[in-house]
Structure 1
Amino acid sequence: MTELPPEIVARLTRTARLLEPMAQLWEETTLLTDRQREAVDELTRRLADNYPYGDVRYIGQILKPPHPVAWISYAAASLINPNNHALDAGPATSAMEKEVVGDIAEMFGMPQHLGHLTSSGTIANLEALYVARELAPDTVVVSSQAAHYTHGRMSQLLGVTHETIPQDRLGKMDLDALEARLEGGGVGTIVATLGTTSLGALDPVDEIVTLARRYEARVHVDAAYGGFHTLLATTDPCVDPRPFHALPHVDSIVVDPHKHGLQPYGCGSILFSDPTVGRFFAHDSPYTYFTSSELHLGEISIECSRAGAAAAALWATLRALGLDRDGLGEVLSKGRQAAVMIADSVRGSETARLVAEPELDIVCTYAASGSTSEVSRRSESAFKRLQSLGWHVAKLQVNSEWLATADEALIVDSDQTTVLRCCVMKPEHLVVAEEFASTLVDALAPSGSCI
């Protein structure tokens, strides 16, 4: 079992104790009883059972600590504990939420919008599909084979028929398959993904919008992972700008600030291009919405209670860094550069192969081998070798036939193949990219020469 290093656990314990006198706002200091203090100490010991998400050698899942400004701001606001459901429960943080949602809409180039923060990308996508159902009842929602599983689950929850469109060799939605399904009729909403959580692939939103308009379907973009990379698609783009430039023409967008927005979990967001869809959320309450004639965020959302601290943290972070190419964009660009460097090393090696060219900051690779079962075995071995050296990556299951379409030498002898997945999402990864790439390539070699 991987645990946090002892020095990090000790630092966490000291931090928790330092927070004690600051843990409430209405008294000058906080005095815990011995039992309460022991509970906090036990908590920090239990938290040792975590992977070192903040370590630069952690390149596994979509996890990293929040920005210090976000953490401080969340902690400060949580001492008041506002609720952004109604203005009397969170007037200051509700205003901040409206401001940051407006900033995000401007980043996407939406000429008008209605939106708010959510507790997760799942809830944000649920709201998008709920509106899709209300606008186009008894129609089908389609998403790519590589799209997040939440769309199928949320469609089932809403009683909506969901269908899957095959992915192409790059992990994007297959446009020919999409058009064939649209020709069959009955599709009300197309879910396009900007940044699949497996490969970081970008569905061709620009071409999807063109098809959707031809067949009178709506377009919802799940940009939970890749949405903030819009900042890298403008001046001197280091990502494909075409799908991002189409965002002003879609019907709804989801983006998760708790991924590349440097926020604590959970903080998602949903934006609609048509403000009138707020009518689908309208409801009465016997004890809220009376303190102001202004819009209460609870009147345009499915969720009721939501942490105002999440809005405060995002608002302060974007004010501190700037929601532009030189601010948050510069943070994201370093991860993108690191991913390109790692991909270049893999591409130039004789022992490793790329699953697909990385479009954002996720790099997936596998061992050059004779068969898919051997690839899986070598991936498992490399995963352990890397972990023994302090590097933490993730594993990904892919369809073997799909993988072999770009590797003619690969013999398919299994349904699924295990490959290695690396989320290069910390700016510090740029510093260690060459070292990691070399270690990764060696770990995938037959002899395991990295040991």
Structure 2
Amino acid sequence: MDLQHWLGRATHAIQEWADGHGPYQPHPSLQVDEDRLAAAFEEFTGRLKDNYPFFHPRYAGQMLKPPHPAAVVGYLTAMLINPNNHALDGGPATARMEREAVARLAGMFGYDTHLGHLTTSGTIANLEALFVARELHPGQGVAYSADAHYTHGRMCHVLGVQGHPVPTDDRGRLDLDALEDVLRTGRVGTVVLTAGTTGLGVVDPVHQALALKERHGVRLHVDAAYGGFFTLLAGADGPEGIDPEPWRAIARCDSVVVDPHKHGLQPYGCGAVLFRDPEVGRFYLHDSPYTYFTSADLHLGEISLECSRAGASAAALWLTFQLLPPTPDGLGRVLAAGRRAALRWADLIAASDVLELYQRPELDIVTCFPAVEPATLSAVDAASARVLADGMASADPVFLSTLRAGRESFAARHPKITADADGARVLRSVLMKPESETHLAWLHARVEEFARTR
């Protein structure tokens, strides 16, 4: 896709639209000296070079990658108009695009009915889901996995509700027996299930938690901010296929959050929150004396805690979905490449004499650590830190990240490692870019090379 060509068409299309409204004279206060702009722009672009190469498969550290060119074109084109998707009079076209894109997300999760909208982040999306949960279960708390994203504990504090971290099993999944012990106290009204933890990419047993929903009358919220688009691989043929049961069970949960700015190929920030029951919109009810007057239809600001939101985000997602829809044959093919890469790398690590697999990946996050002697947590920690630093400092660098695993978590997976510390860092890689599949041999060889260096 020729990005420069389409950006040129974007500016032409918007200028043509603007010309249809008649001429006007820009105010002189907005005029800037071209030489000053050139100098500022040179400094600006120079500063931007102080970044890691998120676009390149040599970068596998965090959940970062560039947006799809279609998303860039959609975002920048709409940004030239700068619509605000709070009210229909702020962005009538992009508000319709948002509804259409959100409906496709709801269909991806199997929701027959829904109420939802885009947000600026998964954090805000989860805040909205827990806000509604609090209103439906006043005075009751929220239970979530001890390995869930820290946002849940933080948002419980913001909302003034009690958070209840629940232990995990030896794979990092929420322990349902421990959860039921908490539910028997009657102090919990909502359970958060994570479909793809940000540390290891672990999927909680959503399908098995449905029985607890019926037995204890709790609300089930699924945090699929990171992993949500992997539902497109549920039950797929080939090595990239994943267990369909947890993903198909999301359709019976009360709410779900997903971040298109992760696997949905969108620029930051683009999250989304979806509720299965549209009637929860009553908890957002408010009035404004100067908005919501152009249409009797529901305005997006009437079902959102946020006010101003960039219509450009909706435009980018809508345009991307026209080309790569949230289907197995659309975005699913992109995720499948990263998933295959993760599984292949896990096999290479398992066969390595200098690396050990920390845990086999469920999605596209790979974790490992250098084989060390003596086999102690402190030695593992030091070796992982050294590989991370050496890889980044190399003339032919590789960019990873680390995950700190506690003593008990490490012992559950690697009991032969002597626990001489309270935990250890392991190497962590996120293979979000489909190009990782063709770059994997190089990536593995480089990490092995750094692991061999003492």
| Same fold, TM-score > 0.5, yes or no | yes
How far 1:135 sits from its partner (Å)?
0.1
Q: Pick one of 322, 330, 333 that aligns with 2:333.
A: 330
- Aligned pair 1:56/2:61, yes or no? no
Contact in 2 for aligned 1:341/1:434 (Cα 8 Å): no
Instruction: Calculate percent identity across the aligned residue pairs.
Output: 51
Residue deviations 1:330-353, cap 9 Å, x none? Answer: 011000000001111111223222
Aligned to 1:214: 215
Change (3 A) 1:136 1:259: same
Structure 1 CA distance, aligned partners of 2:265 and 2:45? 23
Aligned to 1:114: 115
Q: Where does structure 1 differ by over 3 angstroms across 4 or more consecutive aligned residues?
A: 21-32
Aligned to 1:372: 377
State the SS of the aligned residue for 1:246. helix
Aligned to 2:412: 405
Structure 2 CA distance, aligned partners of 1:100 and 1:67? 16
- Aligned pair 1:36/2:41, yes or no? no
- Aligned pair 1:382/2:387, yes or no? yes
How far 1:408 sits from its partner (Å)?
2.0
Unaligned regions of 5+ residues in structure 2, if any? none
Count of residues in Structure 1 that have an aligned counterpart in Structure 2: 434
Aligned to 1:392: 399
Which stretch has the larger CA shift, 374-383 or 306-315? 374-383
TM-score, length basis structure 2 = 0.91
State the SS of the aligned residue for 1:184. coil
Aligned to 1:345: 348
Change (3 A) 1:216 1:76: same
Please give the residue correspondences for 1:8-407 in structure 2 after superposition, counting only pairs within 5 Å.
25=15, 26=18, 33-236=34-237, 238-369=241-372, 370-387=375-392, 388=394, 389-407=396-414
Structure 2 CA distance, aligned partners of 1:157 and 1:199? 26
Contact in 1 for aligned 2:14/2:77 (Cα 8 Å): no
Structure 1 CA distance, aligned partners of 2:411 and 2:355? 14
TM-score, length basis structure 1 = 0.92
Structure 1 CA distance, aligned partners of 2:12 and 2:389? 42
Unaligned regions of 5+ residues in structure 1, if any? 1-13
How far 1:183 sits from its partner (Å)?
2.0
How far 1:292 sits from its partner (Å)?
0.5
How far 1:32 sits from its partner (Å)?
5.8
Structure 2 CA distance, aligned partners of 1:134 and 1:183? 21
Which stretch has the larger CA shift, 298-307 or 45-54? 45-54
Aligned to 1:427: 434
Q: Give, as a single letter, the amino acid of the residue that structure 2 aligns with 1:41.
A: E
How far 1:397 sits from its partner (Å)?
1.1
Structure 2 CA distance, aligned partners of 1:174 and 1:434? 36
Structure 2 CA distance, aligned partners of 1:40 and 1:59? 30
How far 1:31 sits from its partner (Å)?
8.2
Residue deviations 1:169-224, cap 9 Å, x none? Answer: 11111122112212222210000001111001101111112222211111000000
Change (3 A) 1:32 1:265: farther
State the SS of the aligned residue for 1:444. helix
State the SS of the aligned residue for 2:413. coil
State the SS of the aligned residue for 1:420. strand
Contact in 2 for aligned 1:169/1:406 (Cα 8 Å): yes
Aligned to 1:9: none
Structure 1 CA distance, aligned partners of 2:59 and 2:265? 16
Q: Give, as a single letter, the amino acid of the residue that structure 2 aligns with 1:92.
A: A
Structure 1 CA distance, aligned partners of 2:183 and 2:326? 37
Structure 1 CA distance, aligned partners of 2:382 and 2:142? 37
How far 1:442 sits from its partner (Å)?
3.7
How far 1:409 sits from its partner (Å)?
1.2
Which stretch has the larger CA shift, 401-410 or 273-282? 401-410
Contact in 2 for aligned 1:225/1:260 (Cα 8 Å): yes
Structure 2 CA distance, aligned partners of 1:381 and 1:191? 36
State the SS of the aligned residue for 1:106. helix
Contact in 1 for aligned 2:235/2:242 (Cα 8 Å): no
Q: Give, as a single letter, the amino acid of the residue that structure 1 aligns with 2:49.
A: A
Contact in 1 for aligned 2:235/2:243 (Cα 8 Å): no
Q: Give, as a single letter, the amino acid of the residue that structure 1 aligns with 2:378.
A: S
Q: Give, as a single letter, the amino acid of the residue that structure 2 aligns with 1:67.
A: H
Q: Give, as a single letter, the amino acid of the residue that structure 2 aligns with 1:161.
A: Q
Structure 2 CA distance, aligned partners of 1:22 and 1:52? 31
